[in-house]
Amino acid sequence: MSMSNANFPMDAEGRTYHVGIKRGELANRIITVGDPARAIVLSRSLDGVDPNTPAKSISSNLFSHASHRGFLTITGRYKGTPVSIVAIGMGVSMMDFFVRECRAVVDGPVIMIRLGSCGSLSDAKVGDICVPSSSYIVQRNYDYFADDNSSSSHASPYIMSKKFDADPEVTATLVKNMSAQLGDNHVWKGVNATADSFYSSQGRQDENFVDDNQELFTELVKYEPDTLTLEMETFLLYHLARTSTIAPLKEETRVKVAATSNKHSIRAGACMMVFAQRKSNDFITKEDIARVEPIAGKAVFDSLVEVSLGEESELHATEGS
């Protein structure tokens, strides 16, 4: 694969370097998940899927593209509206690739909703759904663990950022549609904490490493009493949506618009299925995942197509939709 433009590499066909998609292959209403198997489960809800498709396969009448870096994109229609599903793997770097590269190949406003899994710090039980209206990030303070840890930057083992908000209409629509699918008592609102590790910065105890995280849950709840969930991507989605410009703009105006306007080209929301109950130590069963994933997926698709993008300029999949 030969790429050009070191600033934003693309191949000769116009495919992005990591997600591997090009203009025309992605809708401007996107659901993003971590696990490619979840993307395939969700693709079953798209219009016109061949019912004879084997369980772990993508219906041949949908567009799909698997990239060499592990991203899987599926595009079709839901209730007649073009939508895409993009599986990105795990962590904030993968979210960064996803948001920037998808933004680059779609014209006009974009809506991105994450359907992930999480740990619950609240009373939300395994199989419940959490819809965070904002997120902060918890990062391991590497300096704290340095041999020379004498300066003030070493004071605390974990650092919490400021919060960034989801799009309020997207969040409200997700809560409404999740409640319709699962019932009010299985849907939780609050704040998400994205961590830079599944282990240390999510308060898991690991005798093979010095993590100094025994007090982390107490510190998170003290920092933000509405902390509901811990996972690994949502903060970056909200942060990038809030810093997205009504692009493309020249450098000098881009800075001003992002800082002073609440007009952004990306509207973002997220919801997570509770896989780990961190207070009771329960972990979800595979039967519960199989029950919740498709229902939660429908609620996300319903929300994706319900929210108006204002100036509509939907791109359509070139194949199969």
Confirm or reject binding of residue 132 to ligand R1P (CB under 6 A).
Answer: no
| Interatomic CA distance for residues 194 and 208, integer angstroms | 23
8 to 67, contacts with ligand URA by CB under 6 A?
Answer: none
How far, in whole angstroms, is CA 273 from its chain's centroid?
12
Contact between 203 and 194 under an 8 Å Cβ cutoff? The reply is no
Number of residues that bind ligand R1P (CB under 6 A): 10
Query: What does the per-residue mask of binding to ligand URA show for 274-313, with x meaning CB under 6 A?
Result: -xx-------------------------------------
Compute the residue count for the chain: 321
221 to 250, contacts with ligand R1P by CB under 6 A?
Answer: 231-233
**Which residue, 34 or 297, has its beta carbon nearer to ligand R1P?**
34
**Which residue, 62 or 95, has its beta carbon nearer to ligand R1P?**
95
- By a kind-dependent CB cut-off of 5 to 8 A, residue 233 interacts, out of ligand URA, ligand R1P, none, with ligand R1P
**Which residue, 78 or 158, has its beta carbon nearer to ligand URA?**
158
Min separation Cβ 178 and ligand R1P, Å? 16
Q: What is the DSSP letter of 157?
A: S
Q: Is the peptide bond before 36 cis (omega within 30 degrees of 0)?
A: no
- Window of 28-36, 139-147, 254-262, 309-317 that interacts with ligand R1P by CB under 6 A: 28-36
Q: Classify burial at 129, counting beta carbons within 10 Å of its beta carbon; exposed 0-12, middle 13-18, buried 19 or more.
A: buried
Min separation Cβ 119 and ligand URA, Å? 3
| Interatomic CA distance for residues 300 and 270, integer angstroms | 9
- Window of 113-121, 210-218, 253-261, 312-320 that interacts with ligand URA by CB under 6 A: 113-121
- Window of 2-10, 27-35, 105-113, 236-244 that interacts with ligand R1P by CB under 6 A: 27-35
In angstroms, what CA-CA distances link 71 with 17, 44, 289, 307, 310? 11, 19, 22, 26, 29
Confirm or reject binding of residue 198 to ligand R1P (CB under 6 A).
Answer: yes
In angstroms, what CA-CA distances link 199 with 119, 141, 182? 11, 14, 30
Instruction: List the structure tokens of 104.
Output: 């680059």
- Window of 92-100, 134-142, 227-235, 256-264 that interacts with ligand URA by CB under 6 A: 227-235
**Which residue, 26 or 115, has its beta carbon nearer to ligand URA?**
115
Among 111, 230, 236, 240, binds ligand URA (CB under 6 A): 230
| Interatomic CA distance for residues 161 and 226, integer angstroms | 15
Confirm or reject binding of residue 213 to ligand R1P (CB under 6 A).
Answer: no
Strand ranges inside 40-186, DSSP E: 63-66, 72-78, 81-87, 110-120, 129-140, 158-160, 164-165
Which residues contact ligand URA (rule: CB under 6 A)? 117-119, 198, 202, 230-232, 275-276
